[in-house]
Amino acid sequence: MGIESLCSADASEPFWDWNLTWHTEDPDFTPCFQNTVLVWIPCIYLWLCFPVYFLYLQRHDRGYIQVSNLNKAKTALGLILWIVCWADLFYSFWERSQNIFRAPFFLISPTVLGVTMLLATFLIQYERIKGVQSSGVMTIFWFMSLLCATLIFISKIKNALNMGDDEDAFRYATFCIYFVLVLVELILCCFPEQPPLFSETVNDPNPCPEFSASFLSRVTFWWITGLMIQGYRNPLEAKDLWSLNKEDKSEEIVPGLARNWAKEWSKTKRQPLNMLYAPKKQQKSGDSNGDMTEEVEALIIKPSQKSSEASLFKVLYKTFGPYFLMSFLFKAAHDLLMFAGPEILKLLLNFVNNKAAPDWQGYFYTVLLFVCACLQTLILHQYFHICFVTGMRLKTAIVGVIYRKALVITNSARKTSTVGEIVNLMSVDAQRFMDLATYINMIWSAPLQVILALYLLWRNLGPSVLAGVAVMVLLVPINAVMAMKTKTYQVAQMKSKDNRIKLMNEILNGIKVLKLYAWELAFREKVLEIRQKELKVLKKSAYLAAMATFTWVCAPFLVALSTFAVYVMIDKNNILDAQKAFVSLALFNILRFPLNMLPMVISNMVEASVSLKRLRVFLSHEELDPDSIIRGPIKEAEGCIVVKNATFSWAKTDPPLLSSINFTVPEGSLVAVVGQVGCGKSSLLSALLGEMDKKEGYVVVKGSVAYVPQQAWVQNATLEDNIIFGREMSESRYKRVIEACALLPDIEILPSGDKTEIGEKGVNLSGGQKQRVSLARAVYCNADVYLLDDPLSAVDAHVGKHIFEKVIGPKGILKNKTRVLVTHAVNYLPQMDTILVMTDGEISEMGSYQELLEQDGAFAEFLRTYANAEQAMENSDTNSPSAKEGKPIENGGLVNEAPGKLMHRQLSNSSTYSRDTGKPQHQSSTAELQKPVAEKNSWKLMEADTAKTGRVKASVYWDYMKAIGLLMSFLAIFLFMCNHIASLTSNYWLSLWTDDPVINGTQQNTTLRLGVYGALGISQGIAVFGYSMVVSIGGIFASRHLHLNLLHNVLRSPMSFFERTPSGNLVNRFSKEIDTIDSTIPPIIKMFMGSTFNVIGACIIILLATPIAAVIIPPLGLVYFFVQRFYVATSRQLKRLESVSRSPVYSHFNETLLGVSVIRAFEEQKRFIRQNDMKVDENQKAYYPSIVANRWLAVRLEYVGNCIVLFAALFAVIARNKLSAGLVGLSVSYSLQITAYLNWLVRMSSDLETNIVAVERVKEYAEMEKEAEWSIEQTAPGSSWPEEGKVEFRGYSLRYREDLDLVLKNINVTISGGEKIGIVGRTGAGKSSLTLGLFRINEAAEGEIIIDGINIAKIGLHDLRFKITIIPQDPILFSGSLRMNLDPFDQHSDEDIWRSLELAHLKNFVSSLPDKLNHECAEGGENLSVGQRQLVCLARALLRKSKILVLDEATAAVDLETDKLIQSTIKSQFEECTVLTIAHRLNTIMDYTRVLVLERGEVVECGTPDQLLQEKGIFYTMAKDSGLV
């Protein structure tokens, strides 16, 4: 009665009438329904949204938008609408006064509508004030109003046509005005406002169009179309990308997370945490995943109360929760809409069966189906967009927080996580959170979908559904078990992969040594052994994957089969008609997704929780205590550095390293710290910097500090940036500093002077240059206290002297500063103010030079040993300040022509990695060397890993198929066909079954139908299993084949290739690309083939049912194809840009970790954090458009899919008299799935394209030039060759590359067996080139080298290199046992090895190790000192004991004692061998038989040292410089 009373004064008018609305050919609503419900719907919507929206706007203020014409128009229309509504109201009052009593709704509806219009007008203004450029809430409101008004309008027109002019003229007029105004409002709402005043977008060169786009454009992602078109026309570049939105930038996101974490952490800090740090020893170096350490740490943390752990999850939720909550609503809406499809299908099938139903109902269902599908599309992609953006922010935040933390953790904490692990946290773990963000809602959404689907199924089929559910439930644990298994295999595979990459890394870093020693084969075997393990695991997981695919593909079928079987068998009267069968199938298809997703989501969550724990452990590490060292401003107190009773250790738990240290350094004095190797000199400096843990005592360092570490740390930036290091540039000061640090000559050599970019870890500088750059940085920053850790060790004696005089010494630039200098050089000690002598972590003596000599203690003893040796050494070598140092000639990259021309050093570019490498560009030619200096600045680093552009060639797919094996490839395709034919037939059979006539309430031959249905299903299963196995095993064949080729080809490449190609690129090939081929490509191929056939199948079925669809499918196919090509072009390029910009994030991070002590000493943390933020933002700039591009594509494609649904249903309705219900059900249920398949297909095809590139890049190195054969049977020399060791150079010339000049010109020298030859010459004279020629690292340009009568160019490289021994300049060790480092081929007995160690003076050291010969050397031999490594290289030479020994002056890094040892060993042990020594210190070769003096690649003098001194030539001047004459 209630609502009826609104409808008319006397309740005679009905509110709803079925006969009028439904059971009729011409439907209409009652006037009462029109004027109440249809008017109120939009009003109710707006009033419900208002409070939430109002609060949202208050929180999110984007700035103020000026009043524009658009805004004026909207507001005016809103007010007019209000007036129109109230005109109606006043008209009703006027009628009342005339005693015409109308129904109450004539009063109520205009009132409600009028107030709502006022609210709408208010919101239009309020949005403008809050800076909303286009409003979704309002657009939807106007759209709803228009929709409702249209229904009323149609009805009014019908009435007017039927009844003549009985209609109320005034209300008719006001309604028409209302309708037009609402339409105009809706149109105006589609245009966005101009951007707010003072917003960032105004001064942004390339702002993101998202916020200025209209609501419709944002819902359909239309705003990215511009970028897509641009990307389609020509490949995108970094400059085309939009800037990030403000709320996605690091500086917005990271501080929020950091603040919340700090709060949470301080809460737990209040409760004392009895937490020790697990020492590193418990973790084997192989386990890069850090799981071990975590376990250990977790055990130690356990005893503290549970509550005291800071919860990182809570913090993340606090930071990102609110924005993420929106996704919750979208997901729920989408889930509900998903079930509309099957329900409408049910109604549609009823309609087809009921021949009496009016036609319009069919069209109504069709439209309803289409609208539901479209809404579902829009909502789903809004949901995904929110999830992905949240994921992106999460990653940004985590990377930022890790970076900030890495700058403050203690050294002991650094030991628990290696650099690799911390970088892993940034890459892998942050990525996991990103992935989880998209799935986390499945945790509640999947169960919801399952429950809903089961409810609807139960309504459809009754209890027999339980059979199907039972099958599903049984499959879940099977899937879960497989997922667990896969996980364990993955861990095992990761482990092997980590080991393999570590080994590869070392091989590539030490490739020169491998080539010189001819050890490639031994290491190749080692790599392949690890690879074999990896492939074994891969094979296991391939079988698993095949099983998984089998269950995944067959599950829906088994479920349907069991359900229908039980349903038909239970009761004869249960008839399987189209409605039951196909609606159930549609619901089963929906069910399949959540059931399969759940295990995956759960395992994802488990992974994420592991990552969460790792992150928490890292973020809870101890931080350096900034107050342990008092850094005061300079006051004239006791001294500039004061240390009283201080005891230091590296970690809280370690025994102290430095104990009871007492000293005071007065301001402006120069203090030297001397002592034996490993007595704690460097640690003392670290302690003064606050890097160590202070146990007790008191330390003051006054004023700012500059620090020069022992291992120079050079950034990947220009030389100038490295020196200025973030300070202001002052030309005069800069010039002075460069001059003083002897860098001028080096800068002249570098291709673009001080603007030259320096590669990672300073690859293109020699050791001495790096050290001087590091020193220049300290000098430039003009601090008060200078801590110098042995800066003179890596430079030549005379350069050292120059630096000491000009910089450090009493007359240098720093003469008024406080300087603490750690040094080995005895000759500078007399000039020091104070000398600290350290022994075993304590200061044993202290005083000036004279005092210490008088005490006659350890120091005096130390001096006596060295003074004579030093005198000889002082200023050896040549007179140019940039003379030979550390790494003399970067493998001949220096080409010295006339002194005026620039020298050109080859550089490899490691600064800009990317994943896709083009062919190497040809290297700069001689022409470039002669360029005038004006062009200097154009020279940048070489060989970027360039991004490939354009489509992947078909030949790449063909290559991959060949790698699998053509037979297997075609077998796989055939099995795919079989599977899909079986699948289509079984569903077609089902539709025939449902159309069986019903006789006496039962269907005939049910058993036959069921049997055939089952048989088809089983054959389908067999085919699935078959193709799955074939593809997986084929994939393994392919990856084995491709890796073997890659490894072989890389090892056979000449040295020049490694100098050109950054090792990062190569390692990338071995890790990233091979991993893609191993584990990404096979599943993608499976899914790609699967979705292709699915789409084709669906189209075939639709064509079978309604042949007329042939008109529609081709045009839709074309649209699909265009959209896909558009997308792939842009998306591929975005992916590349994203990976190109990802590398700098990691390189910068790596660099920071290596130089963290320098950054802290100079207090530059802020600047580095800013740089890191910038790099992360650069990366996200490419990632964000690629997310949006995915959404853009999906929305477009789903619309193509929705159109197919529309037409399948439409044609079925049109032809409903000719069609059986079974066929309609079949075609519509297939079309409902097609959207998902289309989406999947594009996803897969673009994934396939992006991943198949890996094959291309691995093949790329197969086409590179190779060095000569390793061994040639025909010409192999006898096993005893060379017997006497006679070496002849005949007219020998050498150049590094075709396009460069000769470095050695026409050398004719004969060296008889057993001679000792010294080779001397200035830097760049070609000394090292001679040895490179001898080992054929570079092949001869003209002439030949003959050893014992055999021309070395004719024999295999290994045959040659095994017979000559070299002690190289930089001692390189590989990780592995000491024994492996000495004898990788296991050719020698233990006695031999011990004997060689004894002769190399290492026996005592090795015997003292717990594992003796099996002592594990760390990567690069880090756990041995440089001197010890040098001795290991000597031991290698002693083991080989070949007739010819080449010594590349190996004594630069060794203290004098060791140097003596080496020289004496060589004299005694290589008595009858030919020894060629490249000498930098002339005193080592004064007793040699002959000396060759090289100058610009030619031999200028040759003879015994005495003869040459007599001749008074070049050798004489060099000897004079060295003080030997």
Nearest partner of 849 among 671, 626, 980, 644, judged by Cα: 671
Cβ-based neighbours of 814, under 8 Å, separated by 6 or more: 779, 786, 807, 808
The Cβ-side half-sphere exposure at 1504, using a 13 Å CA radius, reads 4
Cross-strand partners of 838: 675, 843
- Taking only the tens place, the pLDDT of each residue in 1220-1251 is 888 888 888 888 888 778 878 877 887 788 78
pLDDT at residue number 48? 92
Tokens of 637: 């107190």
**Calculated CA dihedral for residues 266, 269, 271, 272, nearest 10 degrees:** -170
Place of tokens 């802290």: 1160
- Alpha carbon distances (Å) from 842 to 651, 663, 665, 666: 18, 11, 17, 20
* 8-state DSSP, 1072: I
Q: Give pTM, 2 decimals.
A: 0.77
- CA–CA gap between residue 185 and residue 183 (Å, rounded): 5
Residue pair 1317/1499 in contact (Cβ under 8 Å)? The answer is no
Which residue type occupies 1298?
E
Tokens of 347: 């109604």
- CA–CA gap between residue 1395 and residue 1399 (Å, rounded): 6
Place of tokens 């930071």: 319
- Taking only the tens place, the pLDDT of each residue in 20-74 is 777 788 888 888 888 888 888 999 999 999 999 999 888 877 778 888 888 899 9
Place of tokens 């809460």: 267
- Alpha carbon distances (Å) from 160 to 32, 33, 172: 17, 18, 10
Residue 704's SS3 state is coil
- CA–CA gap between residue 617 and residue 1429 (Å, rounded): 35
pLDDT at residue number 200? 58
- CA–CA gap between residue 1355 and residue 1346 (Å, rounded): 11
pLDDT at residue number 1315? 84
Tokens of 1032: 């997986």
**Calculated CA dihedral for residues 1177, 1182, 1184, 1187, nearest 10 degrees:** -150
pLDDT at residue number 150? 92
End-to-end CA distance of the chain: 126
Query: Degrees (nearest 5) of the Cα angle 1328, 1334, 1338?
Result: 75
Tokens of 237: 């570049």
Residue 320's SS3 state is helix
Residues of the chain below pLDDT 50: 1, 272-307, 869-947
Cross-strand partners of 1293: 1342
- CA–CA gap between residue 1039 and residue 1045 (Å, rounded): 10
- Alpha carbon distances (Å) from 638 to 630, 670, 829, 1254, 1364: 14, 16, 24, 65, 61
